Amino acid sequence: MADMIGKALRLLSLLGSYPDGVGISELSRAAGYPVSTTHRLLGSLAAEGFVRNDPKSKRYALGLRLFELGQQVSHARGFAGVALPVMEQVSAHTGEPTLMAVLDGRDQLYVHAVEGRQQVQIRGEPGRRGPLHCTSMGKCLVAFAPEEQRLRLVAELELTPMGPRSITGRAAFAAEIELVRERGYAVADEEHVPGIRAVGVPVCGPDGAALAALSTAAPAYRMSVADLTEFVPALRTAARELAAVLPRRQAVSGRSSSRSSRPGGP
Amino acid sequence: MADMIGKALRLLSLLGSYPDGVGISELSRAAGYPVSTTHRLLGSLAAEGFVRNDPKSKRYALGLRLFELGQQVSHARGFAGVALPVMEQVSAHTGEPTLMAVLDGRDQLYVHAVEGRQQVQIRGEPGRRGPLHCTSMGKCLVAFAPEEQRLRLVAELELTPMGPRSITGRAAFAAEIELVRERGYAVADEEHVPGIRAVGVPVCGPDGAALAALSTAAPAYRMSVADLTEFVPALRTAARELAAVLPRRQAVSGRSSSRSSRPGGP
DNA sequence: CAAGTCTTTCCGTATTATGGAAAGCTCTTC
DNA sequence: GAAGAGCTTTCCATAATACGGAAAGACTTG
């Protein structure tokens, strides 16, 4: 908590909240660091291209090296390439948006989103995080996590109510996860966002653990839970295809995640 | 160069070369750091999710937080969303792949690639870097960089020969950049990769400086330079559309780049 | 032109990183 | 199954480096 690297990395995460850049003093206030410290940290980050400093406006913003490394993670984890076409097939079938997410820590992280044909669309921006306990993909990721991790998540996840029908009881949540494990798919019926229903399935690796999850989301007025459930076979087919191409991943313990790739340019 | 943060960040970049993860001792050898130092640095990086440590195999790899931040950069710089559809239109017209790149430091950084209809394809993986002096987009990015930066790049870029027809003379390169400025487009005729030709145009902001570049690339046996030149109007149209949606960016000085966005999830 | 706010630099203090060495693991080998 | 090789992790005295308040400089505002 007092280590320099942690401070620098937290500064990076904080910088993400300022898409148009931010001055040093505002940033240091937001971070709670002295200005001179912030200045020095940003200098080191900028020297490696992780932060960009516009010399004119004196504002700082995230640097392109982060984009570069993010793409490498994307490749290494199989997010790039084959995943999108498979998802597009699902959306072609359902006419609704198809989403993909992975487990990271105590959140799900949206990795891909394919739009549907309809006007009213659900937004699951890649790179954003979402809760595990009240989303269809989140429940799949918990239910099909390696046993140790699953038990810990079921026991410890904060069950903050987010939609009109969020599950908030520990026992009810444990029962729901069991149900998901049995049926092999999960439903979130206005549990996350009011007016939105979703159905999700896990993308399971050879050991049965979830590598990712896929879901179809739609406005509640257009789709009943029964309607959505009919998409499960299509989602399962896509999940099987994805399982073949995603790198098999080990159980993750405490925090982060991943892999990455990088060419050595001639 | 001896600062701790720099070491940590260089470790991150290095980790990118190991998509399947790497052990501490191998990494420390590659980085040239003592093992104990590497261990401590990785610990700090892992604590913030920038690095993932598989407790089973004891191997380290890049973490999902990098994907998250990379996506934020992508959004802030306008790479996400509208860019791809515009590029797809170009590919629909040309039948060949369309690429997009931005300037970062002394490299170009590929940010998007849309495949063409043909079997033989050119690969411009997003997140990879490429040279400025021997590619169509690179020349556009130099030619339409803010004056100060342009002059510096023209004077200082390493003109390493990479393809059979790379420009290697300083004067010839300066003349080529002038030509690109006059014509408003650039051609790379087997200057980067043998057997590959490309034509590129800048995406210029309101001040006339390049925000990015677009290109069409094709195998030399299929497309003559004259054939490629006929795609310039389509590329220009796309560039104008992109200019309207990309965030206007200031002159960049020394190194990095960017912007980013981040939601405060409840 | 003065007052406010910002970025940048300075520098003495003491907190923190450093890295060799030792301890602890996990394999393979004989 | 003991010995060995190679790995990860921990320890700790030393020395270097980060720290952050304050001052200086730059810029904008009234």
At A124 the pLDDT is 64
Which residues lie closer than 8 Å to A182 by C-beta, 6 or more apart?
Answer: none
User: Mean pLDDT lowest for which of A26-35, A52-61, A114-123?
Assistant: A114-123
Most A CBs within 10 A among B39, B42, B59, B72, hence the mutation to make, goes to B72
Report which secondary-structure segment, H or E, holds B225.
Answer: helix B225-229
Nucleotides of D under 7 A from a protein CB: 6-11, 16-22
Mean pLDDT of A45-59: 92
The pLDDT tens digits of the residues spanning B3-49 come to: 899 999 999 999 999 999 999 999 999 999 999 999 999 999 999 99
For A121, half-sphere exposure in the C-beta direction (CA atoms, 13 angstrom radius) is 15
Rounded percentage of chain A residues whose pLDDT exceeds 90 = 75
- Residue A27: strand, helix, or coil: helix
Question: ∠A183-A190-A132 over CA atoms, to 5°?
Answer: 60
At A163 the pLDDT is 85
Please tell me which residue, B248 or B200, carries the higher pLDDT value: B200
At A57 the pLDDT is 85
User: Mean pLDDT lowest for which of A176-190, A246-260, B196-210?
Assistant: A246-260
Do the Cβ atoms of A127 and B16 come within 8 Å? no
- Spanning CA of B13 to C1' of D3, the rounded length in angstroms is 39
Alpha-carbon distance A107 to nearest alpha carbon in chain B (angstroms) = 11
Indicate if the pLDDT at residue A264 is higher than 70. Answer: no
The pLDDT tens digits of the residues spanning B223-255 come to: 999 999 999 999 999 999 999 888 765 433 333
The pLDDT tens digits of the residues spanning A86-108 come to: 999 999 999 999 999 999 999 99
Q: Which of A219, A198, A223 is nearest to A137 (CA)?
A: A198
Return the bridge partners of B108, or none: B103, B130
Question: ∠A251-A255-A256 over CA atoms, to 5°?
Answer: 85
Q: Is A146 on the interface with B (CB under 8 A)?
A: no
Indicate if the pLDDT at residue B185 is higher than 80. Answer: yes
At A249 the pLDDT is 59
Most B CBs within 10 A among A39, A54, A68, A162, hence the mutation to make, goes to A68
Copy the structure tokens of residue B195.
């057997």
Alpha-carbon distance A208 to nearest alpha carbon in chain B (angstroms) = 17
The pLDDT tens digits of the residues spanning B71-118 come to: 999 999 988 878 888 999 999 999 999 999 999 999 999 999 988 877
At A257 the pLDDT is 31
At A56 the pLDDT is 84
Residues making up chain A, counted from first to last: 266
Indicate if the pLDDT at residue A258 is higher than 60. Answer: no
Backbone angles phi, psi at A29, to 5 degrees: -65, -45
Beta strands at B107-114 and B129-130: parallel, antiparallel or unpaired = antiparallel
For B118, half-sphere exposure in the C-beta direction (CA atoms, 13 angstrom radius) is 18
- Spanning CA of B6 to C1' of C22, the rounded length in angstroms is 29
Strands (E), chain B: 51-54, 59-62, 98-104, 107-114, 129-130, 186-189, 196-204, 210-219
In chain A, residues 172-231 whose CB comes closer than 8 Å to chain B: none
Report which secondary-structure segment, H or E, holds A200.
Answer: strand A196-204
User: Mean pLDDT lowest for which of A121-130, A249-258, B38-47?
Assistant: A249-258
At A250 the pLDDT is 46
Strand C within 7 Å of which CB atoms in A 242-261? none
